[in-house]
């Protein structure tokens, strides 16, 4: 993370940085005090960014801590809810979603020890997504930890199809970036690009994986990968 922060700060054109979940490893609900220390240590590194920084909740983040405890020890906006959006520049809206729910029920979030093999974006969040987050003329880019396109369970969000229907109907969603699987892939489904990003910790240090993403006003992106993260373009129309 420290190496990536140095690169991002030196770039001079980074508008926003998003960590897409599993900020820490966790201890399978056996060591809350150490998990909180881990959060504070990695937050101290992430906080060195010059650009605005954002967070997506991952399953490992809440193995030992609650979502509220994660927010207290990081820069995640206090909730609930823990989904939100941010406008960047004149053209782009970033939407950070929370799929850390055990069922299609807003009152059933992940809690320490609850497991990770199911994930949902529940009704209130879907309503907010449709009526608030996507109610914009901006290009929308969504971020989830769990995968939002047809992938191998249990890595895909269980009600991914319902969420994709909302995104497709809005007409302004260009991309969805996810983590969770620790590999890199990109596919286009019904007009929207879905990206899986390589995990920073997949290989031992000093190996790394992160990306800078250049967003074009036409909605395309150029992914400039580092280390294990593949570089590619998606939706970029040649001049």
Domains and CATH numbers, the chain: 2-234 (3.60.21.10)
- Whole-prediction pTM: 0.96
Question: What are 46's two structure tokens?
Answer: 């992430």
- Residue-level length of the chain: 239
Alpha-carbon distance of 121 to 103, in angstroms, equals 8
Residue 199's closest CA among 27, 4, 43?
4
pLDDT at 239: 62
For residue 150, the model assigns a pLDDT of 72
pLDDT the model gives residue 151: 64
CA 72/CA 86 separation, integer angstroms:
20
Name the token pair of 127.
Answer: 């309503």
Per-residue pLDDT of the chain (239 residues; tens, 9 = 90+): 999 999 999 998 999 999 999 999 999 999 999 999 999 999 999 999 999 999 999 999 999 999 999 999 999 999 999 999 999 999 999 999 999 999 999 999 999 999 899 999 999 999 999 999 999 999 999 999 999 987 667 789 999 999 999 999 999 999 999 999 888 899 999 999 999 999 999 999 999 999 999 999 999 999 999 999 999 999 987 66
What lies within 8 Å, CB to CB, of 167 at 6+ separation is: 129, 134, 142, 173, 176, 192
């Amino acid at each position: 993370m420290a190496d990536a922060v140095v690169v991002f700060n030196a770039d001079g054109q980074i508008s926003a940085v998003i960590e897409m979940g599993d900020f820490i490893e966790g201890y399978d609900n056996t060591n809350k005090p150490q998990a909180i220390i881990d959060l504070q240590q990695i937050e101290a590194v992430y906080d060195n960014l010059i650009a605005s920084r954002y967070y997506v909740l991952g399953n490992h983040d809440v193995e030992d801590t609650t979502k509220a405890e994660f927010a207290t020890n990081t820069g995640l906006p206090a909730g609930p809810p823990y989904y939100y959006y941010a406008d960047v520049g004149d053209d782009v809206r970033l939407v950070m979603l929370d799929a850390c729910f055990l069922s299609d029920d807003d009152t059933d979030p992940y809690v320490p020890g609850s497991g990770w093999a199911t994930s949902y974006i529940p009704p209130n969040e879907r309503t907010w997504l449709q009526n608030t987050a996507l109610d914009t003329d901006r290009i929308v880019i969504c971020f989830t930890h769990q995968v939002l396109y047809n992938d191998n369970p249990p890595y895909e969000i269980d009600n991914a199809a319902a969420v994709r229907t909302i995104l497709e109907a809005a007409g302004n969603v260009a991309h969805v970036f996810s983590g969770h699987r620790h590999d890199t892939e990109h596919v286009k489904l019904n007009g929207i690009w879905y990206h899986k990003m390589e995990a920073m910790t997949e290989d031992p240090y000093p190996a790394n994986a992160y990306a800078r993403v250049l967003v074009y006003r036409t909605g395309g992106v150029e992914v400039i990968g580092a280390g294990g993260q593949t570089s590619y373009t998606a939706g970029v129309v040649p001049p």
